[in-house]
């Protein structure tokens, strides 16, 4: 309407669209100068609440299964796979042969795998559905 006072507008609707386009383009240019916000920057990298709950439940099942192992088997498992100690170190500290350490490890992993079989089955099913 302000422009109408300065000069006659023959096609007001076309003029309105042209003004709207100009405003949109100016806004886009301003956003580029400021630094466009990337949608990936807005995404949170933290796990979702249901993923945290699932992890906690799986961890509790693992801890329960670990607690069910015999004390020697649990100690060997923890020392080797959680502390990263060598079989020779474990054998020396626990007074076992290296072969006994190996047997404890194999049996501990088999016992844990059996106890956590539902988790492993659920993961493979999930992978089958998603690709």
pLDDT in tens, 54-103: 888 888 888 999 999 999 999 999 999 889 999 999 999 999 999 999 99
- Cα 115 → chain centroid: 24
Domain borders along the chain are 2-41, 49-130
Q: What residues contact residue 119 under an 8 Å CB cut-off, 6+ apart?
A: 58, 61
- Please state the pTM of the whole predicted model: 0.54
Instruction: With a cut of 70, say whether residue 124 has pLDDT above it.
Output: no
CATH of 49-130, one of 1.20.140.10, 3.30.70.2740, 3.90.1530.10, 1.10.10.10: 1.10.10.10
User: Is the separation of the CB atoms in 91 and 101 below 8 Å?
Assistant: yes
CA 35, CA 77: separation in Å to the nearest integer?
Answer: 52
> For 81-93, how does the pLDDT look when each residue is reduced to its tens digit (9 = 90+)?
889 999 999 999 9
């Amino acid at each position: 309407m302000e422009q109408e006072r300065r000069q006659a507008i023959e096609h007001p609707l076309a003029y309105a669209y042209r003004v709207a386009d100009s405003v949109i383009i100016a806004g886009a240019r301003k956003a580029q100068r400021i630094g466009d916000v990337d949608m990936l920057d807005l995404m949170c990298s933290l796990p979702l609440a249901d993923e945290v709950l699932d992890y906690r439940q799986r961890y509790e099942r693992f801890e329960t299964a670990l607690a069910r192992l015999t004390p020697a088997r649990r100690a060997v498992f923890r020392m080797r796979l959680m502390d990263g100690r060598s079989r020779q170190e474990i054998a020396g500290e626990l007074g076992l042969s290296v072969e006994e350490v190996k047997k404890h490890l194999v049996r501990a992993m088999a016992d844990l795998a059996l106890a956590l079989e539902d988790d492993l089955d659920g993961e493979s099913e999930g992978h089958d559905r998603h690709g």
